[in-house]
């Protein structure tokens, strides 16, 4: 009986002591870099940090938080889990940026895919409005905004009309 009382008192003292420690609320998404990885191939192989195939794949259009980017033999690999990476040959990095944009040119503007290859079938008309939800950048840092599935336009062609903050 005496032992139970001592244990109970000890637990209460510890509980009171921990209640005075400073606390910090952190949203899970704030732990990431703010970038995401989108799988662009039908079946993307998953590799470890040494570039070895893990006998695991991820499906097309699946999205992952980006942990870090590493270079293996000249190819970027994007971390999606502990010691799990996707090759940049099968995926690409983007950042959320929900907004409404307006085409600010006198002529049609070209549309590109996520590999920055221009489409010969699609262009955006001047003065039109579009909803955009993500931004990708070229290796040189030029931003492109998404206006449809795998369709992007150079940010310099558009004017932001409204921006929606995600909290």
- SS3 for the chain is CHHHHHHHHHHHHHHHHHHCCCCCCCCHHHHCCCEEEEECCCEEEEECCCCCEEEEEEECCCEEECCCEEEECCEEEEEEECCEEEECCCEEEEEEEEEEEEECCCCCEEEECCCCCEEEEEEECCCCEEEEEEEEECCCCCEEEEEECCEEEEHHHEEEEEECCCC
* pTM above threshold 0.85: no
For residues 10-25, give the mean pLDDT.
54
> Is the model more confident about 4 or about 18?
4
- The pLDDT of residue 23 is 47
Report which DSSP code applies to 127: T
For residues 10-29, give the mean pLDDT.
52
> Is the model more confident about 10 or about 149?
149
Is the model's pLDDT at 3 over the cut of 70? no
| Digit-coded pLDDT (tens) for 95-124 | 999 999 999 889 999 999 999 999 999 999
């Amino acid at each position: 009986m005496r032992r139970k009382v001592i244990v109970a008192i000890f637990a209460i003292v510890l509980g009171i002591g921990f209640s005075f420690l400073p606390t910090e609320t952190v949203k899970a998404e704030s732990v990431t870099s703010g970038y995401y990885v989108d799988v662009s191939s039908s079946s993307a192989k998953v590799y470890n940090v040494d570039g070895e195939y893990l006998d695991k794949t991820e499906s097309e259009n699946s999205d992952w938080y980006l942990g870090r980017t590493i270079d293996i033999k000249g190819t970027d690999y994007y971390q999606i889990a502990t010691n799990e990476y996707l090759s940049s040959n099968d995926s690409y990095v983007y950042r959320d940026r929900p907004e409404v944009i307006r085409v600010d040119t006198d002529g049609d503007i070209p549309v590109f895919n996520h590999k920055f290859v221009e489409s010969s079938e699609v262009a955006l008309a001047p003065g039109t409005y579009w909803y955009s939800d993500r931004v990708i950048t070229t290796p040189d840092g030029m931003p492109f905004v998404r206006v449809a599935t795998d369709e992007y336009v150079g940010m310099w062609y558009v004017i932001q009309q409204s921006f929606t903050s995600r909290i």
